[in-house]
Structure 1
Amino acid sequence: MKAIIFDFDGTLANTLPVNIFGFQEVFKKFDQKDYSKEEIKEMFGPPEPELIEQNLQSNDVKGAVSYYYQQYEENHNRLVDNNQEIDQLLSNLKDREMKLGVVTGKSRKSFEYSLAELNMKKYFDILITGDDVKEAKPAPEGILQALKKLEVSPEEAMYIGDSDDDMNAGKKAGVHIGAAKWLPEYQSSEYSVEPEAIFQEVSDLINYLEKNHDD
């Protein structure tokens, strides 16, 4: 194994609560509608501006997107904690000279904000956001871009995420796939494509690499 590519929300950072809160506030303010956490999760896939445009009844999409980012940034520190285990994991992988990347459906604006707040950018060789692809996951486009930039073959890489779309995208890209359940909030408990490994704890990934792919 030469490279590990991660999803971000619900995988590397417990950002699902602030994502969901931001969307709930948008629909409450602009459509006077109250959506549950699960209803918001059903909308996930495209970057935030597209998600809002696809689901908003109000014509003020531009205002709604701006309001989302305002809510995201104002509530980030309150709803998102630094995770020392994740930091240690990424540091450990870098020490092993593993190439690391992120493929996320988030817009670059919110992604870069979270990376800066959590001081995580230093770990990664490449970053692919929802703004960088034409087709969101479960399409494999983002992962295929990452493989090309990292200069590794699919067989040399693993994609780790928390959603069924992540597993499907990884499968279509031909990489090894792992499901992360190590954060308090993750998207899927069941998968239509079976992952090669399910990581209940952060340490499970290191154990998996040592047993299966440590070369």
Structure 2
Amino acid sequence: MKYKGIIFDFDGTLADTLPLCFYSFNEIFKKYDQRDLSAEEIVQMFGPSEAGIIQQNLKAVDQIDKAVEEYYWHYDRAHHEFVGFDPHLRQLLNGLRNEGYRLGIFTGKGRKSFDISMSKLQLEDFFDVTITGDDVSSPKPDAEGLYKILEVWEMDKTQVLFVGDSDADIESGTRAGMDTVAVAWFPGSHGRFTQTPTHYCNEIDRFKMLIKP
């Protein structure tokens, strides 16, 4: 097979967590800044971890630490209301693992919210390496997290595919010299890219066909 490893983004790629993220961020910005942000405005903030997003965008700078903790409280409390897991994605991950692919995650999420979602969705056993926004000094679109995974796997960039749902993902993969797949397979996917991916998939079945040997 052409690829030996596949790295996934998380939010909007492996799990439809974006509505939960939008809800949790809006609770924070409404309370502390009296701002009601659109989904598009929040997406424009993506790249850093949740803590980084709040630190960079909250006007009530004296409340940042409290706001970050409240974000995680909302994220945990409301997770079951907003997030399920697509059985087709579970089948995909099972199939990839059984076919011998190494699977990893590079997400801008902070480790705390990432671990909440991985546990609630029972995804921990699929991935042998996970890099979050807390594990890098330079967030997406920097490729630092991808380089870290390549080092762990001891693979060349040409052997690894990076899959994501945002411009930051595609630019990160491009900077690392990897082939990239832009995906928009969730109902709420923003699906608009100014970066040019190697491939584009709006259906999980199309992704399966893409990686067939």
Q: What band does the TM-score fall into relative to the shorter chain?
A: over 0.9
Work out the CA distance in 1 between the residues paired with 2:8 and 2:188.
Answer: 16
What is the CA distance between 1:205 and its match in structure 2?
1.4
- How far, CA to CA, are the matches of 2:165 and 2:35 in structure 1? 28
Q: Tell me which residue corresponds to 1:80.
A: 83
Q: 1:41 maps to what in 2?
A: 43
Identity %: 40
| Structure 1 residue 83, shift from structure 2 partner | 1.0
- Opposite residue 112 of structure 2, the aligned amino acid is K
Residue of structure 1 in register with 2:123 after alignment = 120
Other structure's SS at 1:139 match: coil
Q: 2:23 aligns with which of 12, 21, 28?
A: 21
Letter in 2 for 1:98: Y
1: CA distance, partners of 2:50 / 2:142 = 17
- How far apart, in 2, do the equivalents of 1:195 and 1:42 lie? 19
2-structure distance, mates of 1:4, 1:79: 27
Matched, 1:169 2:172: yes
Unaligned runs of 5+ in 1: none
Q: Does 1:12 align with 2:14?
A: yes
* Aligned counterparts of 2:201 and 2:160: Cα–Cα separation in 1: 16
2:97 to 94, 117, 122: 94
- The Cα shift of 1:206 comes to 1.4
After TM superposition, give the deviation of residue 191 of structure 1 in Å: 2.7
Partner residue, 2:52? 50
TM-score, with structure 1 as normaliser: 0.95
The CA RMSD over aligned residues, in Å, is 0.9
- Seen in structure 2, the aligned counterparts of structure 1 residues 200 and 188 have a Cα distance that, compared at 3 Å, is closer
SS at match of 2:78: helix
Pair 1:185-2:188 in alignment: yes
Native 8 Å contact 2:183 2:191 kept in 1: no
Which of 131, 135, 138 is the equivalent residue of 1:132?
Answer: 135
- Size of the aligned set, in residue pairs, is 210
How big is the shift at 1:185? 2.3
One-letter amino acid of the structure 1 residue matched with residue 59 of structure 2: Q
Instruction: Report the equivalent of 2:34.
Output: 32
Deviations 1:113-144 (A, max 9, x none): 00000001110010000000011111110111
Deviation at 1:27, TM superposition (A): 0.7
